[in-house]
Amino acid sequence: MTENSKVSAIVPVSERYDTSGSLAREYLAALNETGRDFELVFVLDGKHSDLGERLLEIAGEDARLRIIQLAKGFGEATALSAGIENTQGGTVLTLPAYYQVEPGEIGKLLAELEHSHMAIAARWPRAAASKFEVMRRNAFHWFVRKVSGISFTDLGCGARAFTREVADEVPIYGDQHRFIPLLAMRRGFRVKEIQIRQSEKDRFDGGYGAKTYLQRFLDIFTVVFLVRFTKKPLRFFGMIGSVTFLVGALFLTYVVIERLFFDAALSDRPALLLSSLLVVLGLQIFALGLIGELIIFTHAGELKEYTIEKIVN
């Protein structure tokens, strides 16, 4: 761990947030109980005047509360990145802008950093939810586990503590902030999931739209590619291209055999067009993987996929 023991607690305020300001006071009280030197930074992603006014009042009472106002809404990941870049604490603590976990449990995450590089909260016991929400949650984590080989139970929880080294090494962009634990483990950092009591006020029954679910689904594939194929793109594109080419070649062979030995006409045969398309598409996908390999090879000296824990002598 870094010698700088200060805790930089960052709260990205985006779409969903507590408007009363009471959560900020509870975070301050909980952080104060840890006995650590800390700063609590609210990053307002866009104009949230209702919360901003209350935060200004609290900041006047306690200088450890800071406010960063972004020019417009850039997204939660950008707000989180801005908070990390504008703090210097050796320990970074990210907290949700709404009631999700009990603030008094924050100390558990900080204590786990004595043994790990990153500690993430898993709300337990979970509050009652609709059958659809439980099914969606379980399906999401099952899919993440299958495609990445890493098992977590509550990636949707925003309460996480990690060292400054993790913050510096793991890039955050797009909507990848939800998958920071996966990206950190890819770098070789030790990540531990800690059970934290869920806040009694954590009640979100609104659900999400189809567009949001599609975006989350695509985000998972992005992270899987980053975790498993960043430096081996040919394995990903080559596998898809080879299967596509093979299926097209088999169909094309079948059509040719019918024409040569069974006197079947080739005109008005959708199978001929489809098989030819699959063959060409397979070659293009395979070529895309080769181009990716050439790019990786050219910039191999600039890439760093590992993290050194310590060097003796």
Q: What is the 3-state secondary structure (H, E, C) of the chain?
A: CCCCCCEEEEEEECCCCCCCCHHHHHHHHHHHHCCCCEEEEEEECCCCHHHHHHHHHHHHHCCCEEEEECCCCCCHHHHHHHHHHCCCCCEEEECCCCCCECHHHHHHHHHHCCCCCEEEEEECCCCCCCHHHHHHHHHHHHHHHHHHCCCCCCCCCCCEEEEHHHHHHCCCCCCHHHHHHHHHHHCCCCEEEEEECECCCCCCCCCCCHHHHHHHHHHHHHHHHHHHCCCCHHHHHHHHHHHHHHHHHHHHHHHHHHHHHCCCCCCCCHHHHHHHHHHHHHHHHHHHHHHHHHHHHHCHHHCCCCCCCCCCC
Superfamily of domain 7-131+153-202: Spore Coat Polysaccharide Biosynthesis Protein SpsA; Chain A (3.90.550.10)
Each of the 313 residues of the chain gets a pLDDT tens digit; together they read 445 789 999 999 998 899 999 999 999 999 999 999 999 999 999 888 889 999 999 999 999 999 999 999 998 989 999 999 999 999 999 999 999 999 999 999 999 999 999 999 999 988 877 888 888 889 888 888 887 778 899 998 999 999 999 999 888 877 778 889 988 988 889 999 999 999 998 876 656 667 777 777 777 777 777 767 767 788 888 889 999 999 999 999 988 898 888 888 777 788 888 999 999 999 999 998 888 888 866 765 565 655 555 556 5
Verdict on whether the full-model pTM lies above 0.85: no
Locate the domains of the chain by residue range: 7-131+153-202, 233-302
